[in-house]
Structure 1
Amino acid sequence: MNESISAALPLQHWQGDRGTYHLVTFAGAEAEALAAHAAMQRLELGRRRGFGSLKSDARIGETRWKTSLFPQHGQSEWVLLVGRKVMRAEGLAPGDEVDVSVTPV
């Protein structure tokens, strides 16, 4: 069950207590598919990963990286952090719509 999940999502800017973060949020059918992957992993491994995260490979444009997705609001949304290296490599700015693909591993 290592299928890619793709979507065009807005790149969001979030200012936290410990710094500035850039992220995209998967919702709807994409979030349901990610929640199903997380449930399968719990069944296979018998436990959850930290913060309920889901290990995955991510891709925006030509840039690929290994990361984790984090559930929000139960599991109705999943957040993918986008680092500065990815933003620079792809010429991204907050508010840009990005084509992102994730493959749970």
Structure 2
Amino acid sequence: MKASIFLSIVTLMVIGVGTLQAQPVRNKTQKERIDNGVRTGQLSRTEAYRLNHEQRHIRHDRMKYKKNDGHMGPRERRHLKHERKMASKHIYHHKHNGRVRQYK
């Protein structure tokens, strides 16, 4: 009995940690995609600036939601997920719009 309770508590803790780590990983991946686009010349400085500004805006919103009442509700999570999805689309669009950087 005690072992099953302990196992269920450990399982819930592992699941909770996994969901908390998913958000920063996605932000890091998007930042790496922007940096890669700059390195390869697929993104101009202006495009990279706009995309990085969008990433800062997402981080700011996340901190604002967490600061408000200590946690994020489902509405805030949905909003951040939508912002991240749109940012990902913007990165793809800017990297594949056919414009190449003329300078390095």
Higher strand share: 1
TM-score normalised per structure 1: 0.29
Considering Cα pairs closer than 8 Å and 6+ residues apart, tell me whether 1 or 2 has the greater RCO. Answer: 1
Higher helix share: 2
TM-score normalised per structure 2: 0.29
| Larger Rg computed on CA atoms | 2
